[in-house]
Amino acid sequence: MSSAALNPERPNYLNQEYGIRSWLLTVDHKRIALLYLLSITFFFFIGGFFALLIRLELLTPAGDLVQADTYNKLFTMHGMVMIFFFLIPSIPAVLGNFLVPLMIGAKDLAFPKINLLSWYLYIIGGVMMLHCILTGGVDTGWTFYTPFSTAFSNTRVIEAGLSVFVVGFSSILTGFNFVVTIHRMRAPGMTWSRLPLFIWAHYATSIIQLLGTPVLAATLVLVVLERGLHLGIFDPTLGGDPLLFQHLFWFYSHPAVYIMILPSMGVVTEIVACFSRKRIFGYNFIAMSSIAIAVLGFLVWAHHMFVAGISLYSALVFSMLSYLVAVPSAIKVFNWTATMYKGSITFSTPMLYSFGFIGLFTMGGLTGLFLAALGIDVHVTDTYFVVAHFHYIMVGGAVMGYMAGIHFWWPKISGRMYPEAWGRLAALIVFLGFNLTFFPQFVLGYMGMPRRYWQYPPEFQVLNVLSTAGSTILAVGYLLPMVYFLWSMRYGKIADANPWHASGLEWMTTSPPPTFNFEETPEVTWEAYDYANIPAPEEVPVEH
Amino acid sequence: MSTSDGAIIAEPEHGPELRHQFATVEQQREASTLGMWLFLSTEMMFFGGMFCAYLVYRYWYYDEFAAGSRSINIWMGAINTGVLICSSLTVALSVRAAQMGKRKTLLVLLVLTLLFGLAFLGIKGVEWHDKFVEHHVPGLSFSAADLVRDYPQLHINPHHIQLYFSLYFAMTGLHALHMVIGIGIFLFLTYKAWKGAYTPGYYTPVEVGGLYWHFVDIVWIYLFPLLYLIDRKPL
């Protein structure tokens, strides 16, 4: 253990104050990050519970565990909880909250009270969603498609809509805080071209949150008003247009995919550079590709509506624009591989998850091109091919990145190392479980199995059994870190300030950091990812 | 603050108005202003969804929108436009007064702004009440029979005219909600100004509150022609 090891008595953000009040009224970005960590983990397991029920039902061709009505509610609640209460806040609200001020050398976010307010909005939305689930749930699918949601569904659409409305504002406030902080709170010498790419990724994400989420909010207001008062805005029998709803909904909900994946890309960029011991390849290209994804992401929404009756010409334009998103995404993948080329690679847990991310994201992205192609999209619309595609992006991509990041910064967050061997085992289990769960779904979808049905023809059973088996393995992979992270908080090896010998200002303060992050505001005189001038750790910083 | 191992966590030196996360007053002011501009961009997109819906249906159901537009009181709308433009002037002047440190002028201007805001809401309330009496509020008691009768030249489908009133109430309602919030903000500013909190060195809240107020005014500047002036030429 190095001499800079943490003296447990050293004041840090965890031991400066104790008691429930000091947590619930905190304005410290690091404590709010932990509040988010606890709450999104809770919702992750709720969403996961619904997923397991779905997979159990699909173990057999007949509808034996649940019937159609319940099944509709299961996939709806799974989607709503996972998207709005886990994926959207996951990396920004936990790792972003913790790291954005640390990485740019600031004492806190620009608006700490608004940061706390965003967590309370999340909790209010979450309680509404839980109440909605416990009193009957919703069956519209997470997409709230009209006129089913406004005129026909007998479930609690208004409550779910309002819950998503509230939690949307929590997301807006997080993005808002990040943009102001990144613009105005950088330490002296921390120029835009010296920012870690994690920050660039969060900047791009925040722009989407700021400009996309309010459109969803306005749309949900209209849905709620329409359902309550029968206005007719989205009801064709009253002159309204359901397609208008879909346009407005996807104007947010497609960019929302980039809210989920961009922060993961930022995490992977940090980790790939660190465990290859090399300056990142193509810094400017990675930074600008984040911005390009955010901008292009706003121009492709109608590729969710190719079979909904939009004009062929607009479909053509949206198809071509969707192809364009592949360019900045591929730039990132190529730059990560180029960074690893001839690097001195350590196969630590965060790096294993990052490998997983790069491979699975590439598969998810390439199958996305299938779906952007008009002809193939018509063939596989609303099949399990689509389900597999977006799970490769959201679970294989976003969640892998989240797991990578939590492991990488756990020493900074908790001041303790997690057990490396268990970490690698869990990463392996997650990777295997994930592929076993979702790869068969590509095949199922291509063979024609539609999504959102509780029954299926018997010839699809083998692949469905494989998928269900994979999902239980995946569940074990997700439960393991829960156990060893909790274990490490008490028994883990004490971490010094920079256990990975990583670049970045967050590693220049103690682990865990003091309440105001730095004892003295740092002055930056070096480029980002300056691994040529950072000695590699003498021994690989992982236990065997 | 001194700690057990002797490390010093610098207690930032600043006046009461500088919050702990900022290094200088200038940085704090810039952060607040940028924050408000960003917030307004979010707001723009929030209204944008409804403007988009308006655009689609006005294009599809022009006659119904024209009839609906004729039925709302153009004079009250015009007066309200004037009231809001006056309030924008008093807001702009109040920022200047705060900058110059003229506390009394600032107070008078803030109170005037509040009065204009309340006048706007009052007139808006009368307009809504008229619509309620005429059964033009969307819902179960909605009826456009009077408009169908009054404008035989227009091709009116009563269902579609309800879309006009739905958007009229959604958009003016959302705008009025923003006015109410604005009045809350200005009550707070007036209270603080009365306490003498704003000096030439620290007047960011007035500036930021002013930005918000101007934004809400500008939304109305668009709502007025879109909702009131669709087609007013004699039939």
Q: Which two tokens stand for residue A262?
A: 């961009």
The answer to whether residue B9 neighbours chain A at the CB level (below 8 Å) is yes
- CB–CB of A230 and B139 under 8 A? yes
Is residue B139 domain-resident?
Answer: yes
Q: Mention every residue, 6+ apart, whose C-beta is less than 8 A from residue A94.
A: A33, A36, A37, A40, A402, A406
pLDDT at A25 > cutoff 60: yes
A2-6, A538-542, B230-234: segment of lowest average pLDDT: A2-6
User: What would the mean pLDDT of B76-97 be, rounded to a whole number?
Assistant: 97
Buried b (16+ CB within 10 A) or exposed e, A512-525: bbbbbbbeeebebe
With both helix axes pointing from N to C terminus, report the angle between A242-276 and A400-414 in degrees, rounded to the nearest 10.
50
In 3-state terms, chain A is what percent helix, strand and coil (to 5)?
70, 0, 30
- Integer Cα distance of A221 and A252 in angstroms: 14
Instruction: With CA atoms as reference, report the closest residue to A236 among A145, A139, A157, A306.
Output: A145
- CB–CB of B49 and A222 under 8 A? yes
Q: How far is CA A148 from the centre of its chain?
A: 29
- CB–CB of A248 and B3 under 8 A? no
Instruction: With CA atoms as reference, report the closest residue to A513 among A403, A409, A438, A440.
Output: A409
- Integer Cα distance of A395 and A86 in angstroms: 11
The CA-atom distances, in angstroms, between B198 and each of A302, A393, B190, B212 are 50, 51, 10, 18
Tell me the nearest-neighbour CA distance from B118 into chain A, angstroms.
25
For B152, which DSSP code?
T
Q: What is the CATH number of the domain that holds B187?
A: 1.20.120.80
Residues A285-323: tens digit of each pLDDT? 999 999 999 999 999 999 999 999 999 999 999 999 999
Look up the ipTM and state it. Answer: 0.89
What is the count of residue pairs from A and B with beta carbons less than 8 Å apart? 143
Asked if residues A390 and A364 have their Cβ atoms less than 8 Å apart, the reply is: yes
- Integer Cα distance of A128 and A162 in angstroms: 8
- DSSP symbols for A352-378: HHHHHHHHHHHHHHHHHHHHHSHHHHH
User: What would the mean pLDDT of B127-139 be, rounded to a whole number?
Assistant: 93
Asked if residues A440 and A366 have their Cβ atoms less than 8 Å apart, the reply is: no
Q: HEC profile for A303-343?
A: HHCCCCCCCHHHHHHHHHHHHHHHHHHHHHHHHHHHHHCCC
Looking at residue A86, what is its pLDDT?
97
- Integer Cα distance of B67 and B61 in angstroms: 10
Buried b (16+ CB within 10 A) or exposed e, A170-186: bbbbbbbbbbbbbbbbb
Phi and psi angles of residue A259, each rounded to the nearest 5 degrees, phi first:
-60, -35
Looking at residue A542, what is its pLDDT?
55
Looking at residue A49, what is its pLDDT?
96
The answer to whether residue B143 neighbours chain A at the CB level (below 8 Å) is no
Q: Which two tokens stand for residue A52?
A: 């397991």
User: What would the mean pLDDT of A487-513 be, rounded to a whole number?
Assistant: 94
- Integer Cα distance of A125 and A131 in angstroms: 10
Looking at residue A83, what is its pLDDT?
97
Is residue B113 domain-resident?
Answer: yes
Q: Is the dihedral of CA A247, A253, A257, A262 positive or negative?
A: positive
Closest-CA residue of chain A to B5: A10
Is residue B136 domain-resident?
Answer: yes
Quote the pTM value.
Answer: 0.93
Which pLDDT band, with edges at 50, 70 and 90, does A540 fall under? low
Asked if residues B98 and B90 have their Cβ atoms less than 8 Å apart, the reply is: no
Tell me the nearest-neighbour CA distance from B8 into chain A, angstroms.
7
- Integer Cα distance of A377 and A26 in angstroms: 48
pLDDT at A466 > cutoff 80: yes
pLDDT at A4 > cutoff 90: no
User: What would the mean pLDDT of B133-139 be, rounded to a whole number?
Assistant: 91
Which residue matches tokens 């030196």?
B13
Which among B23, B38, B162 has the least Cβ separation from residue A231? B162
Residues A191-241: tens digit of each pLDDT? 999 999 999 999 999 999 999 999 999 999 999 999 988 888 999 988 899
What 3-state class would DSSP assign to A104? helix
Residues B6-30: tens digit of each pLDDT? 334 444 444 557 888 898 888 999 9
- Integer Cα distance of B127 and B83 in angstroms: 15
Looking at residue B233, what is its pLDDT?
86
Number of alpha helices (DSSP H) and beta strands (DSSP E) in chain B: 7, 0
Looking at residue B4, what is its pLDDT?
39
Buried b (16+ CB within 10 A) or exposed e, B73-90: eeeebeebbebbebbbeb
- CB–CB of B35 and A218 under 8 A? no
Kindly report the average pLDDT of chain A as a whole number: 94
Domain range list for chain A = 30-533
User: What would the mean pLDDT of B165-188 be, rounded to a whole number?
Assistant: 96
Pick A418 or B25 by higher pLDDT.
Answer: A418
Surface of B (53-92) touching A: CB under 8 A? 53, 56-57, 60-61
Give chain B's domain count: 1
Residues A54-102: tens digit of each pLDDT? 999 999 999 999 999 999 999 999 999 999 999 999 999 999 999 999 9
- Integer Cα distance of B78 and B72 in angstroms: 11
- CB–CB of B170 and A222 under 8 A? yes
Q: Is the dihedral of CA A473, A476, A478, A480 positive or negative?
A: negative
The CA-atom distances, in angstroms, between A251 and each of A22, A242, B39 are 40, 14, 19
Domain that holds residue B150: 39-228
The CA-atom distances, in angstroms, between B186 and each of A78, A457, B109, B112 are 43, 65, 11, 10
- CB–CB of B34 and A239 under 8 A? no
Is residue B180 domain-resident?
Answer: yes
Which among A11, A215, A231 has the least Cβ separation from residue B49? A215
CATH of A30-533 among 1.10.1740.10, 1.20.58.220, 3.60.70.12, 1.20.210.10:
1.20.210.10
Is residue B20 domain-resident?
Answer: no
Asked if residues A61 and A461 have their Cβ atoms less than 8 Å apart, the reply is: yes
Which pLDDT band, with edges at 50, 70 and 90, does A8 fall under? low
pLDDT over 70 percentage in chain B: 93
- CB–CB of A108 and B21 under 8 A? yes
- CB–CB of A516 and B56 under 8 A? no
Is residue B114 domain-resident?
Answer: yes
Q: Which two tokens stand for residue A274?
A: 């660190």
- Integer Cα distance of B176 and B188 in angstroms: 18
